[in-house]
Structure 1
Amino acid sequence: MSEIDSHHDGPGRQFVREAKVSDAEFIASLQAASLTELFDDLSLDTPVAAQDLIENWREAVGQQSGGRVVLIAEDQGVSVGFAAMNEGEILALEVDASARCQGHGSRLLAALADLADVPELSMWLLPEQSGLIGLIQSAGFGPAGKRRTLESPGAPLVQHLWHATLDN
């Protein structure tokens, strides 16, 4: 597994690389923290434990091939974010709260676009995910006019589909 050269900001500083199975704990921890933050913003009492997510991420990272990709953003040797994609659908794009607004999300998104073997990227988001919506809009994503409802304790969650056409 290697560093993705086009998404590197100087030697040893900020870059994106393919995830390894040993990254599963970091990925699960960051995802749990991000989901907890989102659910708190939505006033939903839905606990998310990283321990419950680790095995799923080990499997996902271990099965990368074709259109399945899991990436890690690093800053001076420290993992600060991750992204996951399957056949052009971005399943996750998270950056640690302490490392946001430093270009890591943009680097992850650019790396996903470079690795995609499809004409379009898409991502389902809740309207409350304004930071992530701003990021993908700045990268050329727009609303696709589709939505879906996910059942959750307390209230259903309505996600909207965002998409961008790639210049391959």
Structure 2
Amino acid sequence: MNPEAGFPRATGSADASVRPALPQDAEEIARIQLVTWRTAYRATLPAAVLDDWDADAATGSWAAAVTSPPTPGHGVLVALERNTVVGFAAFAPAELTPGEAPDPAGPSAELSTLLVEPRWGRRGHGSRLLAAVTDLVRGGGAARLQTWLLEDDAVSQGFYESAGWGPDGWARTLDTGDRPLREIRWHALLDDPSEEAR
């Protein structure tokens, strides 16, 4: 799905909103990613990932994600406080985990990342990003939205749990070249609001 299709230029209040990312947002998205990772995951991620960060490469990757998404189902959104980019989310069609059968309820989408810069936390930006992604992927036909969370990331788990998400029983271990990282998959079923109203 195209994030621009059916998506207002910005949603939210005058001071806080969400909109599709623009090419000029790529540098700020990369900066927020690094700051957030260094703040929240310093003890978890390999030191080389954080200390050898290539800002130009990260900016280029995000610019490509915004301007040349691999499929119509890929997208990047940003959260704004007034005119300042304070967070972002990226989503894509979900890939099946080895040994997993397709969900009979319909296709799944994956929230590959949702980050809000720590100094802008607890202002609802994460919830607005999650709601916007949910609306977009539901509109694109997804019946389910999933994300992978580090097993010991209690803060993120609490955020998704408060939004009605839960673990779906799948786990994976990432080889980081340092120590392995275990992730748990969380998900939410995307009920059609029109069906619920009946």
Shared fold, TM over 0.5: yes
Which 4+ residue blocks in structure 1 deviate beyond 3 angstroms?
Answer: none
| DSSP 3-state at the match of 1:31 | helix
Aligned to 1:83: 89
Out of 21-30 and 128-137, give the one that drifted further.
128-137
Q: Do the aligned partners of residues 3 and 43 (structure 1) sit closer, same or farther apart at CA in structure 2, a change above 3 Å counting?
A: closer
Residue 38 of structure 1: how far off its partner (Å): 4.1
Residue 148 of structure 1: how far off its partner (Å): 0.8
Aligned AA (2:89): A
Aligned to 1:148: 172
Aligned to 1:29: 31
Greater Rg by CA: 2
| Higher strand proportion | 1
Q: Which runs of 5+ in 1 are unaligned?
A: none
Alignment length (residue pairs): 164
Aligned AA (2:38): T
Residue 40 of structure 1: how far off its partner (Å): 1.5
Aligned to 2:186: 162
| DSSP 3-state at the match of 1:47 | helix
Percentage of identical aligned residues: 35
Q: 1:96 aligns with which of 100, 104, 117?
A: 117
**Counterparts of 2:171 and 2:45, CA distance in 1:** 21
Aligned to 2:130: 109
The answer on whether the counterparts of 2:39 and 2:118 sit within 8 Å (CA) in structure 1 is no
Per-residue CA deviations over 1:65-104 (Å, capped at 9, x if unaligned) read 6211100000111110000000210011000110111100
Q: Do the aligned partners of residues 68 and 43 (structure 1) sit closer, same or farther apart at CA in structure 2, a change above 3 Å counting?
A: closer
